[in-house]
Structure 1
Amino acid sequence: MLHYPCYESSLCEISDYSAQGASSESDSEGDVPGQYCAGELCICETIVLSSILRSPEPPQGFRHILKTQGPEAFAKTVRNHKGLLLMDTTFRDAHQSLLATRVRSHDLLRISPYVAHNFSQLYSLENWGGATFDVALRFLHECPWERLEDMRKQIPNIPFQMLLRGANAVGYTNYPDNVVFKFCELSVQVGMDIFRVFDALNYLPNLLLGMEAAGKAGGVVEGAISYTGDVSDPTRKKYDLKYYTNLADELVKAGTHVLCIKDMAGLLKPAAAKLLITALRDKHPDIPIHIHTHDTAGAGVASMLACAEAGADVVDVAVDSMSGMTSQPCMGAVVACLQGSKLDTGLNLSNVSEYSAYWEQTRTLYAPFECTTTMKSGNADVYMNEIPGGQYTNLQFQAYSLGLEDFFEDVKKAYREANVLLGDIIKVTPSSKVVGDLAQFMVQNKLSADDVLSKAEELSFPKSVVEFLQGSIGEPYQGFPEPFRSKVLKDMPRVSGRPGASLPLLDFDKLKTELKGKHPYSTDRDVMSAALYPHVTDEYLTFRENFGPVDKLDTRIFLTGPKVGEEFEVTIERGKTLGIKTLAMAEDLTANGEREVFFEMNGQLRSVFIKDKEAVKELHIHPKADKNVKGQVGAPMPGSVIDIRVAVGDKVEKGAALVVLSAMKMEMVVQAPVAGVIKTLDIKPNMKLEGDDLLMTIE
């Protein structure tokens, strides 16, 4: 009899699947191996419990230095450390890059005790920030603050690290300054330690604001320079070695505790790594240098070893089964390559292997979100298209939602062309979103780069592209692209200088009152979330009020739902476990489109009426816009109507904003193709549309 790792049962509570009359192996209906084990300790529990039994309290790590002596002493300790230090990205960037950020707190917390007991030598554990904040609320229906707090309880000894988008905090736009400062303050209170602060354009005013906010909150400031181009290629002149060393000088002058090179697309080749790190180490011998990369091309391990040899103190890795391709380089490979050398990491390869075994099984639960559906190996075309690793999977899912699943190779080629159109900019959230939105717009509308440039004055560009050209996320190095910018913007307003400087401070008390009025049980953390993501937070709170804490469900149950006749348990809190068994589902719908579902909870028969959204969906065939009729305006992409800015009878000028559509975080403002009067309006708010569906007619 085979025994699979029991990743979907609760820790210390073993389910004997064979006692339920089924094989312990996966059945023919596609159950995930590892859902149950046959009456003995599973690998997951054995790994965690053996660590805890050896020592109830995890050993001290670098966080002890930070908490007892402060950020400066922490940085000095890191710099004086013998051997290469590692940051583990498995809890954040690895699954953002491989699994569209969909990994739930449930699975992160299950392995957390093992990490605390066996990886205390880590420089840090990256587990928050970036896209995790948005995705936790939007798709996983869980509170990102609770995730951070719960992990801190499980891992008290390893410094936590997050990605802060400078003046964008963890959002996609600039916020009032007090929002960024308040966010950092609350993050430290809940358990964050190190803030990797970057700006999407390496725009220094935005960077400095984020660094100031993180430092004032008491965090370790890790000022980051986003890397693009190739400093080892003399023909790539825009982002040369001097560009990076000058930026590093500014960050050190501003008081960064650690200097970071953020290679978000995996473009840092070994030869370039040696040049760049040697130059930085020579100029700044006393400051720790931390290197981040992605392994998209397959050269990540070689590049990180070159960085270490050149004087870097810390490099980013992901545990083996969550590494490679668009993720970070392989932890086990780096550990093994340096064993016995002066740069030995001090990590135990057996522990790495056990840690990897957990994620190898857990990852199977997230198969629908895998980037490997199309990407089966490293791909050196990243050196041409320069797509960031963290964007790759999201760009792929966007393409599918826009009906471009068969044209993803075209999207990648268009990404390169879009970058040139925009002036060869630094590409990382949110500037990478600008390039990605423009690339998908080009493919969807069958536009070449020449077409975009020649027709720029008459096209309805994605909202992110227009706002970038207006200056809403800052100023790119060497300025905006002309004449493209002028053609797109025409007489639209432009932002000069740091965008957040002109924004009024947010009234948190007013926001709290408004949120409490709609969601009485909301907390100060929810208020902070609402300041960053008002609509997404509102939807999350509404969902939680209707359905409760679904983050307590096992992952397979959360993603696919239980089968009829299946029993499962949900631990709401320590000592409070619900036993649930689904029994049957009524075939007939009620008059208002609901279906009765019968189940047992802790042995008590119950039923609940659930609205069957699919069964009651009205067949609605929306008219298409006739491209031969000059005044008919069609939807340029599939999406939802989030804003209608005109009404029947309104007079509009050519280029006026008519409607805002949204699909997979990509927003597009549809502009009037002609001047005239709105004759008909064929849409309503929140209506879902397909491409070319009729929006309105202008007479």
Structure 2
Amino acid sequence: MVNIAKETSYALANAYSLECWGGATFDVAMRFLYEDPWERLRTLRKLVPNIPFQALVRGANGVGYTSYPDNAIYDFSKKAVENGLDIFRVFDSLNYIENMRLGIDAAKKAGGVVEAAVCYSGDVASPNEKKYTLQYYLDFVDQLVQEGIHVLGIKDMAGLLKPESAKILIGSIRKKYPDLPIHVHSHDTAGISTASMLAAAAAGADVVDVAIDSMSGLTSQPPMGAITSALEQTGLGTGIRYADIQALNLYWSQVRMLYSCFEANVRASDSSVFDHEMPGGQYTNLMFQASQLGLGTQWTEIKRKYIEANDLCGNIIKVTPSSKVVGDFAQWMTSNNFSKEDVLARADELDFPSSVVEFFQGYLGQPVGGFPEPLRTKIIRNKPRIDGRPGTSLAPLDFKKIKAELRAKYGKHVTDADVTSYVMYPKVFEEFQSFVEKFGDLSVIPTRYFLGRPDIGEEMHISIEQGKTLIIRLMAVGPVVEGRAQRDVWFEVNGEVRAVSVEDKNSAVETVQRERATSDPGSVGAPMSGVVVEVRVKEGQEIKKGDPICVMSAMKMESAVTAPVSGHIKRVVVHEGDSINQGDLVVDIGH
């Protein structure tokens, strides 16, 4: 991004904004790239001073997956503007107006441009649509306009907006609010969004989202080159030169090749999205997660279960974090071979994923039309029930105290912005800090060498600051040091030979044959494959039916394993950090 930023600032000077921050940026930057999202914002801001920067903000969920105390959202918004953000595209994963109000007010008080987004689901042009009708959207827009927003966003996160629906929806809003700027965002999963964006423009939209051609299509946005070229013939030209788009495209097509090993195997459009309504941002993630959970061959079944899981939740708006609830639910149903009828019949005795339980408790807010009963009561049982905005019941955070604790743990370099990162993603931030403490700033390493080791004799040129470049050549890799899972590796750094002891994770892998659970009611097996993150019982402990035994995690999906019967713990056969497969024995309960 840094390499092409200056050229982008000239080529796309006419753009409404660059959507380059917020949303999953925090999670991905720290968890996978070991980069500071705030530093990314500041760096790009200096290089692109002329195009507004836009962030995707999940209303009361900020840039995280849950609700936070109100002062956390105000603090985040203030710091975002101070570090270079201009436009807040505020949405709520359930279109819950109370969560939206908080995000809107926080962005406004921070001095940002408030773009409030309506999340689009269903089909306004279909006579069969009973829930997410045109009138529903017009009423929701009325509520947002009353909040004093600057721009209206239509967020079609799954790519469900067909051209005729776009014409009806945008045309109706434009007729009612002639002067309200309208911004339309879609995904191209079904292959229809280019036509839909052109229809939206013709119906009165001011902005449509696009992606550079080589990064566009399928679960991404429609292609910039196609849409700008088509608009030039309609009197709605963007003023962005076709030749400039092609020049940027050449760069990004080369960059994309570096990441090709991570590409999901999505090679064609999927119009079944009109049935399952899976957001573009989730589609490839869920496909990857399914393969990691051993469900890769059941992708069609997962899509079918996604439809059933959405029905069980009450046909909700699906976008992060509510889409994660439906995705976790669908994977759990698939891996346990549960039908919708099974879930309804046995809801009061099953161990649901944590995200599903928290959704039904009300931790994300209130869905359109309310929660389905009696399913809600059966799933949450004796857990707290939240029937208003979740953040109102959360105590304000003491930022000074958090900063002091983080500085005591990681050092004086911890800033106020770091405190906000920690608030949104405590565990991810701590892992990121520990990693940087061990390896230093890895953002300076070229992508090729960040992702994989160099060949013997290959030279790496790493610029650590202006005018200071390290020329590093890999010379030799030694054998595994017995008992330590480490190797000595020899490098030549600017002509001098150095040996470094490197951890070899592959040599430390052990294959463990685990005991399987039996059909005995007290023999408790793992409901899914994953890692044990917490064990909550000890041998000899008395336990009641429904008490939590342990918490498991698989690809961001956490699930509590509870006791199917009352009794005492005879054996605990797992420990925190253990990787176990579905059906492996967790504990033995004696009657």
- TM-score tier, shorter chain, comes to over 0.9
Matched, 1:150 2:43: yes
Letter in 2 for 1:667: E
Deviation at 1:645, TM superposition (A): 2.2
Matched, 1:569 2:461: yes
1:668 corresponds in structure 2 to 559
Matched, 1:427 2:325: no
* RMSD (CA atoms): 1.2
1:585 corresponds in structure 2 to 477
Deviation at 1:591, TM superposition (A): 4.2
Query: Which of the residues 339, 347, 358 maps onto 1:456?
Result: 347
Letter in 1 for 2:474: T
Partner of 2:448, secondary structure, is helix
1:514 corresponds in structure 2 to 405
Tell me the percent identity.
Answer: 52
1:381 corresponds in structure 2 to 272
Query: Which of the residues 471, 488, 491 maps onto 2:379?
Result: 488
Change in CA separation of 1:491 and 1:588 when aligned onto 2, cut-off 3 Å? closer
1:587-620, Cα deviation, whole Å (9 max, x unpaired): 2414433211000111111011112222133443
1:601 corresponds in structure 2 to 493
Deviation at 1:523, TM superposition (A): 2.4
Preserved contact between residue 488 and residue 502 of structure 2 (Cα < 8 Å): yes
Letter in 2 for 1:611: E
Deviation at 1:111, TM superposition (A): 1.2
Letter in 1 for 2:512: H
Query: Which of the residues 167, 170, 178 maps onto 1:277?
Result: 170
Query: Which of the residues 28, 36, 48 maps onto 1:135?
Result: 28
1:254 corresponds in structure 2 to 147
Letter in 2 for 1:360: S
Query: Which of the residues 358, 368, 377 maps onto 1:477?
Result: 368
- Rounded to whole Å, the distance in 1 between the matches of 2:2 and 2:564 is 52
Letter in 2 for 1:246: D
Letter in 1 for 2:439: F
Query: Which of the residues 154, 160, 163 maps onto 2:53?
Result: 160
1:232 corresponds in structure 2 to 125
Q: How many residues align?
A: 589
Matched, 1:439 2:330: yes
1:180 corresponds in structure 2 to 73
Partner of 1:468, secondary structure, is helix
Partner of 1:268, secondary structure, is coil
TM-score by length of 1: 0.83
2:100 corresponds in structure 1 to 207
Deviation at 1:264, TM superposition (A): 0.4
Query: Which of the residues 219, 243, 248 maps onto 1:326?
Result: 219
Map 1:62-73 to 2 at 5 A: none
Partner of 2:259, secondary structure, is helix
Deviation at 1:564, TM superposition (A): 1.5
Question: Moved runs in structure 1, 4+ residues, more than 6 A?
Answer: none
Change in CA separation of 1:476 and 1:588 when aligned onto 2, cut-off 3 Å? closer
1:502-539, Cα deviation, whole Å (9 max, x unpaired): 00011111111111111013222221111111111010
2:512 corresponds in structure 1 to 620
2:550 corresponds in structure 1 to 659
- Rounded to whole Å, the distance in 2 between the matches of 1:686 and 1:526 is 27
Letter in 2 for 1:572: I
2:589 corresponds in structure 1 to 698
- Rounded to whole Å, the distance in 2 between the matches of 1:418 and 1:616 is 39
2:159 corresponds in structure 1 to 266
1:418-466, Cα deviation, whole Å (9 max, x unpaired): 1111110000000000000010011111111111111212211110000
1:65 corresponds in structure 2 to none
1:101 corresponds in structure 2 to none
- Rounded to whole Å, the distance in 1 between the matches of 2:252 and 2:134 is 38
1:542 corresponds in structure 2 to 434
Matched, 1:647 2:545: no
Deviation at 1:399, TM superposition (A): 0.6
| 628-637 vs 576-585, greater mean Cα deviation | 628-637
2:111 corresponds in structure 1 to 218
- Rounded to whole Å, the distance in 2 between the matches of 1:623 and 1:111 is 54
Deviation at 1:340, TM superposition (A): 4.1
- Rounded to whole Å, the distance in 1 between the matches of 2:140 and 2:326 is 23
1:284-304, Cα deviation, whole Å (9 max, x unpaired): 111101101001111111101
Letter in 1 for 2:30: L
Partner of 1:667, secondary structure, is strand
| 359-368 vs 635-644, greater mean Cα deviation | 635-644
2:296 corresponds in structure 1 to 405
| 489-498 vs 110-119, greater mean Cα deviation | 489-498
1:342 corresponds in structure 2 to 235
Letter in 2 for 1:599: F
1:523 corresponds in structure 2 to 415
| 196-205 vs 351-360, greater mean Cα deviation | 351-360
Matched, 1:553 2:434: no
- Rounded to whole Å, the distance in 1 between the matches of 2:493 and 2:299 is 46
Matched, 1:296 2:189: yes
- Rounded to whole Å, the distance in 1 between the matches of 2:204 and 2:480 is 69
- Rounded to whole Å, the distance in 2 between the matches of 1:153 and 1:657 is 50
Query: Which of the residues 501, 507, 520 maps onto 2:392?
Result: 501
1:633 corresponds in structure 2 to 524
Deviation at 1:644, TM superposition (A): 2.0
- Rounded to whole Å, the distance in 2 between the matches of 1:205 and 1:162 is 20
- Rounded to whole Å, the distance in 1 between the matches of 2:462 and 2:482 is 29
Query: Which of the residues 156, 180, 185 maps onto 1:287?
Result: 180
1:243 corresponds in structure 2 to 136
Query: Which of the residues 289, 306, 311 maps onto 2:199?
Result: 306
1:364 corresponds in structure 2 to 257
Letter in 2 for 1:412: K
Preserved contact between residue 480 and residue 504 of structure 2 (Cα < 8 Å): no
Partner of 2:498, secondary structure, is strand
| 345-354 vs 681-690, greater mean Cα deviation | 681-690
- Rounded to whole Å, the distance in 2 between the matches of 1:362 and 1:691 is 38
- Rounded to whole Å, the distance in 1 between the matches of 2:359 and 2:475 is 53
| 294-303 vs 616-625, greater mean Cα deviation | 616-625
Partner of 1:317, secondary structure, is coil
Preserved contact between residue 457 and residue 475 of structure 2 (Cα < 8 Å): yes
- Rounded to whole Å, the distance in 2 between the matches of 1:148 and 1:582 is 33
Partner of 1:232, secondary structure, is coil
- Rounded to whole Å, the distance in 1 between the matches of 2:127 and 2:153 is 23
Partner of 2:481, secondary structure, is coil
Letter in 1 for 2:445: L
- Rounded to whole Å, the distance in 1 between the matches of 2:105 and 2:548 is 37
Letter in 1 for 2:331: Q
1:74 corresponds in structure 2 to none
- Rounded to whole Å, the distance in 1 between the matches of 2:176 and 2:555 is 43
